[in-house]
Amino acid sequence: MKEFKILAVIVALVGITYYGIEPYAHHIMHPEVAPADFSFKTLKNVDTTLAGNVENGKVLVEANCIACHAIDKAGYPAVMPNADAAASYGVVPPDLSSAGRIYDKNYLANFIFDPVTAMHLEGKYTPESGKQFPMPAYNWMSPQEIMDIVAYLQSVTPKVTEGKEANKTTFEAACGRCHNMKYAGIEATTPKDNLKAYMGATPPDLSQYIKSRGEHYLHSFINDPQVLLHGTSMPRVGLTEKAQEEVIAYMEEIGDSKKAERESLGLWVMLYTLVFAILAYLWKRKIWSEVH
């Protein structure tokens, strides 16, 4: 009985200390932020209830988009090599093949209308900065026309098998123009020097971000970087919840590849230790019965 009391005192002291230096300190250093908003409901420039016309969208895309963007899966290859594109625009313009799948519809429509507001980069592209986002705003288009483009992009996006393939494709489409993933052998499609000039700093390698930032942080951060890192030049990308989950799953696959092994082995080791502990207890009782 006395030993249980001692144990209780130790558990209490250790527990209080642990609470203070882990959950409590974490809570103080990383205050909770507004929950991620995957409907991007602050963006209201385009009426997204309008049904888009794919045929008309194709015409509009050919006239307005493919001068800069590739849509490889729809038969529009890149206009120039990545290095030249980066030199011309600052950053390689995205191939729009996956756009209809990975970007939220409301976000995509509002992005076309006004990219800087959609990306939450008003702080970077101020009139005083003299900087201009390489893609112009299409706020002169009618909401119907914008929705036609969105409908077209959604119609050409290829189906991908869920799981590893989707995770990797989504990561490359959403993050791969700026970020390296060294542990997967992925290098940003925009050359390093262009990127540094364009972003102000070299975007980090994401190989270990699943560990250094963790799923919880990434969940909010990718949805809207400004919320957790005010003033960052990383844009809000506008991923759907599903696409974001795929990105995070890919980061885990690369950054914490032994997770499944760790968790299954962990159970076996603990089971083994439990058997050891029980046997040790029985042996101890036998031995001590002779001396007590």
Partner 1 sequence: MAEFKKADSMLEWFDQRLGVVNFAKVMMTEYWIPKNINFLWAMGVLLTVLFTFLVVSGIFLLMYYKPDVNMAFDSVNYTIMQEVAYGWLFRHIHAVGASVVFLVIYIHMFTGIYYGSYKKGREMIWVSGMLLFMLFSAEGFSGYMLPWGQMSYWAAYVITEIFGGIPVIGDELVVWIRGNFYVSDSTLTRFFMLHVLLIPLAILGAIVFHFYALRFPHVNNEEGEFFDFDEEAEKYLAGNKKESKVVPFWPVFLSKDFFVLGFFMLFFFYLVFFHYDFAMDPVNFDKADGLKTPAHIYPEWYFLWSYEVLRGFFFEIAGVSGKDLGLMAFGFANAIFLVLPWLDRSPMVKPANQRPYFKYWFWFLMADLIVLTVYGKLPPTGANAWVGFASSMTFLVLFIALPFITKAEAKKVGGK
Contact set with partner 1 (CB under 8 A): 2-3, 6-7, 10, 13-14, 16-18, 20-22, 24-25, 28-29, 182-183, 204, 207-209, 211-214, 257-258, 261-263, 265-267, 269-270, 273-274, 276-281, 283-284, 287-288, 290-292
CB of 255 to partner 1, least distance (A): 8
CB of 181 to partner 1, least distance (A): 12
Measured from the CB atom, the residue of 102 and 234 that comes closer to partner 1 is 234
CB of 29 to partner 1, least distance (A): 5
Measured from the CB atom, the residue of 140 and 268 that comes closer to partner 1 is 268
Measured from the CB atom, the residue of 83 and 278 that comes closer to partner 1 is 278
CB of 276 to partner 1, least distance (A): 5
CB of 204 to partner 1, least distance (A): 8
Measured from the CB atom, the residue of 126 and 283 that comes closer to partner 1 is 283
CB of 21 to partner 1, least distance (A): 5
For the chain, report the end-to-end CA distance as a whole number of angstroms: 16
Which tokens go with 102?
Answer: 């990975």
CB of 289 to partner 1, least distance (A): 10
Return the closest-CA partner of residue 103 out of 38, 34, 177: 38
Measured from the CB atom, the residue of 136 and 266 that comes closer to partner 1 is 266
Q: How far is CA 40 from CA 6, 63, 236, 292, in A?
A: 54, 28, 10, 72
Measured from the CB atom, the residue of 147 and 188 that comes closer to partner 1 is 188
Measured from the CB atom, the residue of 17 and 39 that comes closer to partner 1 is 17
